[in-house]
Structure 1
Amino acid sequence: MKQIKHLSIILLFSSLFFSCNSLKTAVHDQYSYQKTVEIKVEASNLIDKATTPYTDHLKEIGDLGLEIQKIIEYEKSKPNNEITYAMWQVLANKDKNLLVGFFKRWKEKGQLKPFFVEEAKSQIIEAMDLLIQYEAKKDKETKDKLLQLITQ
């Protein structure tokens, strides 16, 4: 009887372990959520300044770039976090039309037209909002939207 009880407990814990391990999605991380919100707010404020000379904002741009590098390193080290990490890589890719790509264009042009800034800002903020939603919910719908954006 004791052996059956022990075997039942072992089977229960084993099934719990394997079922949780099969989810393959990182759990909610308050730090990731908070840093993503902070970076979004800083990026939004900085994007608004892109109608002025790039060289006037070198320190702010450098500081934001450093924050992006930090969050990427943090996200890279978390287990089962491929989606969030991949999305940060897309945001940080200077050859994409999102966050770091926007700053690259601003640098190349010197300053940008207000219409372009507004259009680009709405796309960047939408992508960051999606990342924030995913970090908060970790639901399938938001995950699928992020995957769609990552694979574009």
Structure 2
Amino acid sequence: MKHIKLKQLVFLIAFAFIISSCTATKTALFDPYSYQKLIALKIETASLMGKANTPYPLHKEQINTLLLEVEKLTEYEKNKPYNEITFLMWKILTDKEKNLLAGFFKRWETKGVLSPAFIQESEKQVLQALDLLIQYEAKKDKESKEALIYLINSNT
């Protein structure tokens, strides 16, 4: 009888340890809505960034619409459980003082028109960040998570 209780106790302790260790490393599950919105935002972003060699006021309405969609998705990502990494990346993308998405549009607004070389380099960086978010959302694997964390750490 004592042998059975001891086995049960050992099993319960092991089970509790496994459950607690899994909870600490949880990642949000694949979300088809996030994935779909990310793809659409990436395409819209690339299209708008490519027009930055023309005057900003011509595209202001489109830019505001895109930034509103980004804001909506950022809020959505903020409230998903176990989604801290994705939310941190969205905070960086939407920070006007950083050199990614919102920072690019702020610079375009300030300068009026941007040079093709600047557009090309900025577009490469912003689209790479969006690609990493897309890959992470699709795979939720260690490799895509580490790549996203590296980018976050490089921009904080």
TM-score (norm 2): 0.86
RMSD, aligned CA? 2.0
C-alpha distance in structure 2 between counterparts of 1:45 and 1:83, whole Å: 26
Identity of aligned residues (%): 52
Moved over 3 A (4+): 10-20
C-alpha distance in structure 1 between counterparts of 2:17 and 2:35, whole Å: 30
C-alpha distance in structure 2 between counterparts of 1:36 and 1:16, whole Å: 34
CA deviations 1:27-70 (Å, max 9, x no partner) are: 11111111111111100000011000000011100100100110
CA deviations 1:63-112 (Å, max 9, x no partner) are: 00100110011000011100000001111111111011000110010010
How big is the shift at 1:13? 7.8
C-alpha distance in structure 2 between counterparts of 1:48 and 1:15, whole Å: 52
Partner of 2:94: 92
C-alpha distance in structure 2 between counterparts of 1:146 and 1:98, whole Å: 14
Partner of 1:144: 146
The partner residue of 2:109 within 104, 107, 110 is: 107
The partner residue of 2:26 within 24, 27, 32 is: 24
Q: How many residues align?
A: 148
C-alpha distance in structure 1 between counterparts of 2:122 and 2:106, whole Å: 13
SS in 1 for 2:29: coil
Q: Unaligned 5+ residue runs, structure 2?
A: none
Residue 32 of structure 2 corresponds to residue 51 of structure 1: no
CA deviations 1:98-149 (Å, max 9, x no partner) are: 0110001100100101111111101111111011000101111111111111
Q: Kindly tell me: are residues 75 and 97 of structure 1, through their superposed partners in 2, closer, same or farther at Cα, counting changes over 3 Å?
A: same
The partner residue of 2:70 within 59, 68, 71 is: 68
C-alpha distance in structure 2 between counterparts of 1:22 and 1:102, whole Å: 36
The partner residue of 1:81 within 61, 80, 83 is: 83
Match of 2:70, as an amino acid? I
SS in 2 for 1:26: coil
How big is the shift at 1:20? 4.0
TM-score (norm 1): 0.88
